[in-house]
Amino acid sequence: MLTIRPSRETMGIVFGLTAALMWSSFLIASRVGAVDGLLPIDMMVLRFGIAGLLLAPVLILSRRRKTHPALTLRHALFLALTAGPIFVWLNVGGFQFAPLAHGAVIQPATVALAGMGLAALLLGEVLTRRQVFGAVLLLVGIVAIAGPSVFVMNTEILIGDAMFVGAGLFWVGYTLLLKRWQISGLRAAAAVSVLSAIVVLPVAPFVGVAERLGHLTWGELFFHATAHGLFNGVGAIVAFGMAVERLGAARASLVPAIIPATTLIIGLPITGERPTALEFTGAAVACIGLIIALAQRD
| pLDDT tens-digit map of 65-106 | 666 677 888 999 999 999 999 999 999 999 999 988 888 888
Mean pLDDT of 123-129: 75
Percent of the chain with pLDDT over 70: 90
- Angle at which helices 277-294 and 259-271 cross, to 10°: 150
Please tell me the predicted confidence (pLDDT) of residue 132.
85
- What pLDDT does residue 131 have? 81
Output the pLDDT for position 151: 67
Decide if 2 is inside a domain: no
Per-residue pLDDT tens over the stretch 269-285: 888 888 778 888 888 88
pLDDT confidence bin for 2, thresholds 50/70/90: very low
Amino acid at 7: S
> Is 153 domain-assigned?
yes
Nearest Cα neighbor of 281 from 146, 161, 141 is: 141
Quickly count: other Cβ atoms within 10 Å of residue 125's Cβ: 12
Based on the structure, what is the number of domains in the chain?
1
Please give the Cα distance from 141 to 106 (Å, whole number). 9
Between 243 and 248, the higher pLDDT residue:
243
* The pLDDT value given to residue 211: 94
pLDDT attached to residue 54: 94
Residues near 251 by Cβ (< 8 Å), separated by ≥ 6? 12, 296, 298
Rounded CA separation 240/18 (Å)? 8
User: Tell me: the pLDDT tens digits for 182-216?
Assistant: 888 888 899 999 999 999 999 999 999 999 999 99
Q: What is the C-alpha radius of gyration for the chain, rounded to an integer number of angstroms?
A: 19
Residue 134 pLDDT > 90? no
Q: What is the pLDDT of residue 298?
A: 44
Is residue 122 in a domain? yes
Q: Is residue 143 part of a domain?
A: yes
Flag whether 49 is in a domain.
yes
Is 5 a residue whose pLDDT tops 80?
no
What per-residue confidence (pLDDT) applies to 181?
A: 86
Instruction: Give the H/E segment covering residue 193.
Output: helix 185-200
Distances (CA, A) of 286 to 88, 98, 197: 23, 17, 34
Which residue from 219, 192, 224, 231 is spatially nearest to 209, judged by alpha carbons? 224
- Predicted pLDDT of residue 1: 46
On whether residue 183 sits in a domain, the answer given is: yes
Is there a domain that residue 91 lies in? Answer: yes
Angstrom distances, CA of residue 216 to CA of 32, 92, 220, 251: 12, 18, 6, 40
**What pLDDT, on a 0 to 100 scale, did the predictor assign at position 123?**
65
Band of the pLDDT at 253, cuts 50, 70, 90? Answer: low
Q: How confident is the model at residue 153 (pLDDT cuts 50, 70, 90)?
A: low
Is residue 1 one of the residues assigned to a domain?
Answer: no
Please give the model's pTM, rounded to 2 decimal places: 0.85
More confident residue, 293 or 57: 57
What is the domain range of residue 23?
9-294
Q: Output the pLDDT for position 52.
A: 94
Q: What separation, in Å, do the N-terminal and C-terminal C-alpha atoms of the chain show?
A: 36
